[in-house]
Structure 1
Amino acid sequence: MPLPKDLDPYANPRAFYGAELRRLREAAGLSQNDLGERVFCSGTYIGLFEAGERRPQEEISRALDEVLGSGEHLQRLCRLARTSKVAGYFADAAELQLQASFIGSFTSMLVMGLLQTESYARALTRSAHPFAGQDVIEGHVRTRMERASLLDSPTAPVLWLVMHEAALLVPVGGNAVMGEQLNHLAEQTASRPGLITQVLPFSAGAYPLLHASMTLMQFTDAPAVVYTESAYSGQLIEEPVLVAQHSSAYDLARAAALSPEASLDRIASAAKEFLTP
């Protein structure tokens, strides 16, 4: 995938990284496939870096500098290009969500970040950072709320949520906050054609994603990836075999979940229970 002719290399650090990588590669007389083979990735992946469609990776940048004889040039640019307002371990996944045509999410205990209310997000952030100052907490909350604008984009992906029934019952922030969150989830699901929500009931028993929180992202012109996350860390998975394994587990969870209509009824019922004095 060559660098688009109309891509401004000075538009942002990631575009500049891509332009410099292409310049160095062409000066070395290497095709994207040739360079990919030397740093143990595909030529398509090199093309995504050059087009500014993927955030550069530090390990690959180090290998590229070695192959291209560019000292630490790409490594330094990589550090600039990876600057992000979200947690470092989530930054790559956050960028990919903006490019995805389909996002499939499974959560076992929480509502997915893109569908969280401000009060719910604040309660979660405070629980994860009990010793942080209020300005830090509010910064995290603002960033999470800003990310929700993805759903209003003309190129918004199809978003298919599968959440365990337990996520409807944990009183994050108290009854009022939880009731508001569940009503918001139901309203968003009912009003957005590209949003599907399913609840995996307790009666489903054991299932492959019992201990996991995962996001599957599919693209029109790139291989699918999976992002898994725990409280203070996350992992972006691109190995095709592992992506396929996670995708199959996600499909099984969808098959075992309540129908979208029954799921909306269950969400509304849980919200009513939280808001009833």
Structure 2
Amino acid sequence: MDESNPPEHLNPLQRFGRDVRQVRQARKLTQEHLGKAAGYSYGYVSMVETGKLLASEKFAEGCDLAFGTGALFSGLLQRIDEGDHPSWFVPYLNLERKASRILNYSANLVTGMLQTEEYARVIFRVSNPIASAEAIEGKVAARLRRREVFESDTPPFLWVILHEACLRTVVGGAETMAGQLEYLLAASASPYVDLQVMPFSAGAPVANAMMPFTLLKFTDSPTVLYSDGPQGGKLYDSAKTVASYVDIYDRLRAHALSPDGSLNLIESLLEEYRNEHRSGPERR
């Protein structure tokens, strides 16, 4: 980190890293000592302290434990994370981390939790054309952090239904799409992930399935619905509304391709994108 930079010129990741470094040095700990206490390498600590890497929740908790700072760094990290998401999305994000099952239907873009870094970067760049590069990178990092729920001892089960439009809408170019489809195939190999594709041949969508939506199920509380809309997403906990979308999701699963058939389609489209990338320059 450039010591000559005044605090107001630092981005959120750099400020977090600066604070970790300052407290570590005040406690007379080396990067190696902190890494061992938090369960990470000294190289990881260095990347965080220089603002080159967004720390994980586990690392922030490890810092608080090693420094005796309560929940200071965990709170700082949460505020960084929330600052990179729209305010209307934060309540959903907090519930997503606690869910035991996540049922998602995506109508035109791959769901955020399964997006690759480059795919997400292109989406944020297009949807935030006047945002700085640092702001875009913050949003990308925050989106990738959502995958950390799968690193817990009891990860949630994720069931995703992607409309075929998600796979054929070219985001960033053939190379980006090839990377995205490769990631979908890799993710589907997890015992905690089920993936289906709703083909164009299925015809008109089920009622109320024109927009993407997600159902969050919990072990100790009622299911919650999150649905996108023109003004952003919204959470619904009405038993009647949730029950109607559970029924919709069951019908979507019934009309989608089987998991094996879905993977076959993804593999076929992946080869198309690979061939397109090899045959000429990408479209931007």
> What are structure 1's unaligned runs of at least 5 residues?
1-81
The answer as to whether partners of 1:122 and 1:141 remain within 8 angstroms in 2 is yes
* Corresponding residue for residue 227 of structure 1: 226
* Corresponding residue for residue 274 of structure 1: 273
* Corresponding residue for residue 157 of structure 1: 156
> What are structure 2's unaligned runs of at least 5 residues?
1-77, 280-284
Counterparts of 1:8-157 in structure 2, within 5 Å, are 84-85=82-83, 86-157=85-156
Evaluate the alpha carbon distance shift between residue 113 and residue 255 of structure 1 in structure 2; reply closer, same or farther with a 3 A threshold. same
* Corresponding residue for residue 203 of structure 1: 201
* Corresponding residue for residue 249 of structure 2: 250
**Partner deviation per Cα, 1:161-184 (whole Å, 9 max, x = no partner):** 001011110010111001100111
Evaluate the alpha carbon distance shift between residue 208 and residue 185 of structure 1 in structure 2; reply closer, same or farther with a 3 A threshold. same
User: Whole-Å Cα distance in 1 between the matches of residues 176 and 231 of structure 2?
Assistant: 23
Runs of at least 4 residues off by over 6 Å? none
Report the TM-score, using the length of structure 2 for normalisation.
0.66
User: Whole-Å Cα distance in 2 between the matches of residues 247 and 177 of structure 1?
Assistant: 33
User: Whole-Å Cα distance in 2 between the matches of residues 240 and 200 of structure 1?
Assistant: 27
* Corresponding residue for residue 171 of structure 2: 172
* Corresponding residue for residue 17 of structure 2: none
The answer as to whether partners of 1:128 and 1:231 remain within 8 angstroms in 2 is no
Q: Name the SS of the counterpart of 2:97 in structure 1.
A: helix
For the aligned residue pairs, the C-alpha RMSD in angstroms reads 1.6
**Partner deviation per Cα, 1:69-114 (whole Å, 9 max, x = no partner):** xxxxxxxxxxxxx952322111111111111111000001111111
The answer as to whether partners of 1:178 and 1:274 remain within 8 angstroms in 2 is yes
Counterpart residue identity of residue 181, structure 1: Q
| Matched residues, number | 196
Report the TM-score, using the length of structure 1 for normalisation.
0.68
User: Whole-Å Cα distance in 2 between the matches of residues 117 and 204 of structure 1?
Assistant: 27
User: Whole-Å Cα distance in 2 between the matches of residues 197 and 209 of structure 1?
Assistant: 21
Evaluate the alpha carbon distance shift between residue 230 and residue 271 of structure 1 in structure 2; reply closer, same or farther with a 3 A threshold. farther
* Corresponding residue for residue 188 of structure 1: 187
The answer as to whether partners of 2:98 and 2:218 remain within 8 angstroms in 1 is yes
CA drift of 1:130 comes to 1.0
* Corresponding residue for residue 55 of structure 1: none
The answer as to whether partners of 2:209 and 2:248 remain within 8 angstroms in 1 is no
- Is 1:265 matched up with 2:264? yes
User: Whole-Å Cα distance in 1 between the matches of residues 214 and 153 of structure 2?
Assistant: 21
User: Whole-Å Cα distance in 1 between the matches of residues 167 and 230 of structure 2?
Assistant: 19
The answer as to whether partners of 1:209 and 1:250 remain within 8 angstroms in 2 is no
User: Whole-Å Cα distance in 2 between the matches of residues 113 and 199 of structure 1?
Assistant: 16
Q: Name the SS of the counterpart of 1:198 in structure 2.
A: strand
CA drift of 1:232 comes to 5.3
CA drift of 1:231 comes to 6.3
